Structure 1
Amino acid sequence: MATGVAVSVPASEPEFERSEEEARGHDAEEEHTQQHPGPAPGPQHRLAKLPLSRIKALMKADPDVSLASQESVFIIAKATELFVEMIAKDALFYAQQGKRKTLQRKDLDNAIEAADEFAFLEGTLD
């Protein structure tokens, strides 16, 4: 069974040179629409994107783990995010080779087989 994950792929657009007048007009327009600097409200600027409470619960599900500090939970969450990003980028490469915008299981399989650092995952998706 093929499982798909939707991934947006930015289309490469040709860059056209603008005249000075167009550039100035566009810059002035951007100044009016720009927001004031400073941290934006909401989850956009969270250091970890995964829910730390769920990570902590998963860590505590291991019988060898009795306590988990906030720092260790954060590090595990960040490492997980980076791992998922890395394997997703590798899988996206294979999807793009197949001229597709949707990740499929075969893309993940190809990414796992191609990279030595993913060798521990071989056979886990079976």
Structure 2
Amino acid sequence: MGLSWEEEGNGGDAAAPQPQSLTSAPAAHLLRLPLVQVKALVKADPNVMLAGQEASFILARTVELFVETIAKDAYCCAQQGKRKTLQRRDVGNAIEAVDEFAFLEGTLD
């Protein structure tokens, strides 16, 4: 993404990776979800009075990572069924199989 890790060594020894700063590209270009839509969803919540640019960005990135994770797990379920196309039941199977998705149980019914 926008962060890269370099290993810097002292005397030939590899030190812990050090994060570099974000590139000069605007933060919105690091996302696949439209930030405007994420902000609109945040504003639609009556419990949210104010949400900063950084909070909206972090929320959008979190959603992307969550969708990517559940999609990968659902794809594994599809592969077990000898298919390459995801189906609703694959997402349901992923939700049942992975403990981290327990909060989603019953949402696809």
TM-score normalised according to structure 1 size: 0.63
- Identity of matched residues, %: 70
Amino acid at match of 1:74: F
Amino acid at match of 1:75: I
Quote the RMSD (CA, aligned, Å).
1.2
**2:81 aligned with 1:98, yes or no?**
yes
Higher relative contact order (Cα pairs below 8 Å, separated by 6+ residues) = 1
**2:56 aligned with 1:73, yes or no?**
yes
Shift of 1:109: 0.6
Flag structure 1 segments of 5+ consecutive residues without an equivalent. 1-44
Shift of 1:46: 2.3
TM-score normalised according to structure 2 size: 0.73
Amino acid at match of 1:60: K
**Larger Cα Rg: Structure 1 or Structure 2?**
1
Q: Name 2:17's counterpart in structure 1.
A: none
Structure 1 moving runs of 4+ over 3 Å: none
Q: Name 1:87's counterpart in structure 2.
A: 70
**2:90 aligned with 1:107, yes or no?**
yes
CA distance in 2, matches of 1:54, 1:67: 16
Q: Name 1:123's counterpart in structure 2.
A: 106
Aligned length: 82
